[in-house]
Amino acid sequence: MTARHHIEAFLEMLAAERGAARNTLLAYRRDLEGFAAFAAGRGEDLAAASEATLRGFLVALEASGLAARSAARKLSALRQFHLYLLRERIRADDPTTGLDSPRLPRRLPKLLSEAEVDALLATARARPDAAESATLTAALELLYATGLRISELLGLRRSALATEGRMLLVRGKGGKERIVPLSEAARTAARALPEKGTWLFPGRDPAHPLTRQAFWLMLRRAALAAGLDPARVSPHVLRHAFASHMLARGADLRSLQLLLGHADIATTEIYTHVQAERLARLVEAHHPLARRRARG
């Protein structure tokens, strides 16, 4: 089989077995065709390329100035392709197992300041539509008080408000449950929600929860009214705000890990980097020597 036939068969598998989206398939095709051309230049076939050729391809990508994240995506495509070849017994080994992924830069989360969160909450309370105001206020209070994921928030049932609303029972990733405490403001806002069926945040049809799209539209309107760039405001940004503001006020990482529902504390440690960057900017902006050097 030619390289083109191997690529077509692999893409058909992705579409049929994994339901891969059209853009994903196009990206995989580009990545594999690019490597096939590189391997052909070394006199090797795509499906029989050596580990040395794969390493040479990664070195060439780095030398071309390609971003590490893009190079990592290409390597991921090659790993999956070679797993497919192994599974289909087209080749007896996987030459990608010994390859190291490009070192990716740590992506720090977007943040809102405490003042910006306050402005967003004040705007939510002042929305002219009473139903939207109640929903948005309760959602924002809960997100900022607990650091919930948006899927966890919209999946809350009214029964989740245990112990008179002082604690919240949350079902997180993998069906794992955790209990998080609620602030008085969050309890008050949650109690103010009208009781319509099972869900704490019901949609137009009370039999179903509010959709992410509907909540995003409400949040976008509130962000604009608060004078904030909507691109900086999302449920996940509020989760980051909760974590970074808690850490700044003395919370320890282990407690924060439990509240956020992180399986690995390394995921929680990203917020220590956020705080370190913030402190570095404060020193740069306000330290007498730093300001003197800037003037010089």
pLDDT at 14 over 60: yes
* pLDDT at 69 (0 to 100): 82
* pLDDT at 165 (0 to 100): 62
Q: Which of 87, 166, 173, 212 is catalytic?
A: 173
* pLDDT at 218 (0 to 100): 94
Would you call 236 a catalytic residue per the annotation?
yes
* pLDDT at 215 (0 to 100): 95
Q: How confident is the model at residue 280 (pLDDT cuts 50, 70, 90)?
A: low
- CB count in 10 Å sphere of residue 236: 13
Q: Which of 149, 187, 240, 245 is catalytic?
A: 149
The percent of residues above 70 in pLDDT, for the chain, comes to: 87
Would you call 273 a catalytic residue per the annotation?
no
Q: What is the pLDDT of residues 81-102, one digit of tens each?
A: 999 999 999 999 999 998 887 7
Sort strands 167-171 and 161-162 into parallel, antiparallel or unpaired: antiparallel
Would you call 6 a catalytic residue per the annotation?
no
Q: 3-87, superfamily in CATH?
A: Tyrosine recombinase, N-terminal domain (1.10.150.130)
In the 8-state DSSP scheme, what is residue 128? S
pLDDT at 37 over 80: yes
Would you call 106 a catalytic residue per the annotation?
no
* pLDDT at 279 (0 to 100): 52
Q: Which of 127, 239, 240, 245 is catalytic?
A: 239
pLDDT at 164 over 80: no
Would you call 262 a catalytic residue per the annotation?
yes
The percent of residues above 90 in pLDDT, for the chain, comes to: 48
CATH number for 114-284: choose from 3.40.50.2300, 1.10.10.60, 1.25.40.10, 1.10.443.10.
1.10.443.10
* pLDDT at 107 (0 to 100): 59
What average pLDDT score do residues 188-193 get? 90
Q: Which of 176, 236, 254, 281 is catalytic?
A: 236
* Contact between 115 and 227 (Cβ < 8 Å): no
Q: Which of 28, 84, 144, 271 is catalytic?
A: 271
Q: Which of 74, 127, 240, 262 is catalytic?
A: 262
CA distance 216 to 214: 5
Q: Which of 133-137, 193-197, 238-242 has the highest mean pLDDT?
A: 133-137
Mean of per-residue pLDDT scores for the chain: 85
Residue ranges per structural domain of the chain: 3-87, 114-284
CA distance 167 to 160: 8
Q: How confident is the model at residue 72 (pLDDT cuts 50, 70, 90)?
A: confident
Q: Which of 64, 82, 66, 76 is nearest to 27 (CA)?
A: 76
pLDDT at 219 over 70: yes
